[in-house]
Amino acid sequence: MGFAVTIATAQILDQLKRVKGPELIGNIVDLGLVSGIVIEGDQLSFSITVPARLADQLEPLRAAAEKAALASPGVAGAQVTLKVDDTEETASPPPQPVRSAPSVSQSEAIPPPMQKRAPPPTPAPGAKAPVPGIGAIIAVASGKGGVGKSTTSVNIALALQASGLRVGVLDADIYGPSMPRLLGLSGRTQSGENRVLIPFEAFGLKVMSMGFIVEEDTATAWRGPMVMQALTQMLREVAWGELDVLIVDMPPGTGDAQLTLAQNAPLAGAVIVSTPQDLALIDARKGLKMFRKVDVPILGIVENMSYFQCPDCGGRQSVFGHGGARAEAERIGAPFLGEVPLVMAIRATSDGGTPIVVSDPDSEQARIYRDIASAMWTRLTEERILAGGQG
């Protein structure tokens, strides 16, 4: 028995080495944080010692350790507890007050930029370098146009912002920028010191869009290298200040421009928006493949226009079929982040420049966007904790 347990423990520790430490340095095993391993049959329990000041933010770490433990051969159940280390020096900052959106981490909880993942096929030199001051860059993409990618991007951004994070939005849709309309902004961007562009601000978000740089239609004749140059400038030569997260509203589709962008921006993850129709889902699958090819983690799939909600009776109708994106997410092992109904209020508020998360924060739809943002953020945190786990 003793021999068998020793082998099992070694395998478990091997799995747990994939889990990064609370401050994303080293792993929980080598840092000596795992203790009290008990194996009873196929059930496992152990503790992870964590600093008191971070204790209330480390549920994703606990969950990641549980997931890793369950991947060990023969383990059917795992109970992992966080043990608070009270011996930590008192100079540490006190715990931050809890703000809204329960499982969305607070700005102070944002881990430092993710360790570099395996390099994509041919990134431009220096292209993947982190953008100073920005904690995480997340792409919101769709396989085809018109599925509500921009509407989803802006409402997710506002939901993250409402949870206390510092958020920016980069409208990377060179040919059809939507952010000026969605956020009720107009005008041209100004250059500050060293020709750095000054972002616009709306509802507390920092915003940059091609719509602030050139006249509509000017960019339509642009080809690959010019588009990439403009996008690089909008990403790196903007006075973003300190941001916890930058949401990039990608151009629709999965062509060369999208691939180059996915390959040439230091993305921490991608969210795919799809409607439930088969055709949209086929295109969404192409989007998923594209990000996987360049090693950008998929944070999840959102089904937009999932069902029609009757404004009078509240009844639901599945106009385009329903649940296809969830099934697709399950099929490929990507998280499913949520379903957004087809609701007149979403269209009207977006087109009116006051997205629903800010214009009607108590609505059911605003709650849905907050839940999606929260699930996405939790997934990002887990992804960072497990990052580099294969190596």
The residues of the shown chain that bind ligand ATP, judged by CB under 6 A, are: 142, 145-151, 173, 176, 178, 252, 304-305, 340, 342-343, 346-347, 350-351
Q: Which is nearer to ligand ATP, 67 or 286 (CB)?
A: 286
Q: Helices H, strands E: what count in the chain?
A: 11, 12
> Is residue 144 a known part of a binding site?
yes
Contact by Cβ (8 Å): 93, 109: no
> Is residue 38 a known part of a binding site?
no
- State the minimum distance, in angstroms, from the CB of residue 31 to ligand ATP: 43
Element (H, E) at 271: strand 269-274
Contact by Cβ (8 Å): 141, 255: no
- State the minimum distance, in angstroms, from the CB of residue 142 to ligand ATP: 5
Q: What angle do CA 300, 301, 303 make, to 5 degrees?
A: 150
DSSP letter (8 states) at residue 254: S
- State the minimum distance, in angstroms, from the CB of residue 334 to ligand ATP: 19
> Is residue 143 a known part of a binding site?
yes
Q: Which is nearer to ligand ATP, 19 or 368 (CB)?
A: 368
Q: Which is nearer to ligand ATP, 95 or 146 (CB)?
A: 146
Residues 6 or more apart whose Cβ sits within 8 Å of residue 81: 45, 46, 47, 48, 62
- State the minimum distance, in angstroms, from the CB of residue 252 to ligand ATP: 4
Q: Which is nearer to ligand ATP, 74 or 321 (CB)?
A: 321
- State the minimum distance, in angstroms, from the CB of residue 23 to ligand ATP: 37
Q: Which is nearer to ligand ATP, 258 or 350 (CB)?
A: 350
> Is residue 176 a known part of a binding site?
no
Q: Which is nearer to ligand ATP, 253 or 269 (CB)?
A: 253
DSSP E strands in 41-193: the ranges are: 43-51, 77-85, 134-142, 167-171
Q: How far is CA 355 from the centre of its chain?
A: 20
> Is residue 92 a known part of a binding site?
no
DSSP string for residues in 325-388:
HHHHHHHHTPPEEEEEEE-HHHHHHHHTTS-HHHH-TTSHHHHHHHHHHHHHHHHHHHHHHHTT
> Is residue 150 a known part of a binding site?
yes
Contact by Cβ (8 Å): 43, 8: no
- State the minimum distance, in angstroms, from the CB of residue 178 to ligand ATP: 5
Question: Would you list which residues are annotated within the binding site for ATP?
Answer: 143-150
